[in-house]
Amino acid sequence: MTAEHRPARRMARAERRAQIVDAATRAFARGGYAATNLEDVAVEAGVTRVILYRHFDSKADLYRAVLDRARTRLLDAVGADDFDETSIPALVRAAAENPEGFRLLFRHAAREPEFRDLIDSFNEGSAEVTHRNLSMVLPDGPWTRWAARLLPTMTLEAVIAWLDAGQPDPDQAADRIGRAVHGVIEAAGGGAQAGS
């Protein structure tokens, strides 16, 4: 049998699902949730809509799978229970490895009421961990709570701005973002040098 007459190899269910999620990530990143339809995703994945519906019940189900995977990859890379000197470099690396997923999670999904819960829970968890870490170097009070809320948002926005700028100086990005983080910590401490 020649190569052109061989039947196409069927993908395992998990492999096909991952292929569809990869394609959906690219399609949604280009057009956003509202402007992207399942036909766009099917074309990007090289499958039919029937195949899409074998794996996902709806466009919302597929989009949530894209966001869940991006969130899981990010948490695997950065961790969820503590932040330390490796957290910002890990965050920058994770964003560079999956810029579409990162933007979908922190830019697009934040604007979609149906998916806002993912971002809200992520932000709340990040603020709690940040507050716990800041409490080791700053006295608890309104400025520490302010910094705990500001730092996760500012750090994510800094990474998105870095992605949007074309990922300049990737070896220095984490250090530059880290300096901005330390500036907020210093401001929260009233200008006194807080611990590193």
CA dihedral 129→33→103→15, nearest 10 degrees, is 90
As its CATH architecture, domain 9-188 has Orthogonal Bundle (1.10)
pTM: 0.83
Residue 7: burial class (beta carbons within 10 Å; 0-12, 13-18, 19+):
exposed
Helix axes 170-188, 87-97, angle to 10 degrees: 130
Helix (H, G, I), strand (E, B) or coil at 183: helix
Among residues 117, 113, 90, which one has the least CA distance to residue 102?
90
What's the pLDDT score for residue 9? 56
pLDDT, averaged across the chain: 90
Q: How far is CA 59 from the centre of its chain?
A: 19
How many Å apart are CA 177 and CA 108, to the nearest integer? 22
What's the pLDDT score for residue 191? 66
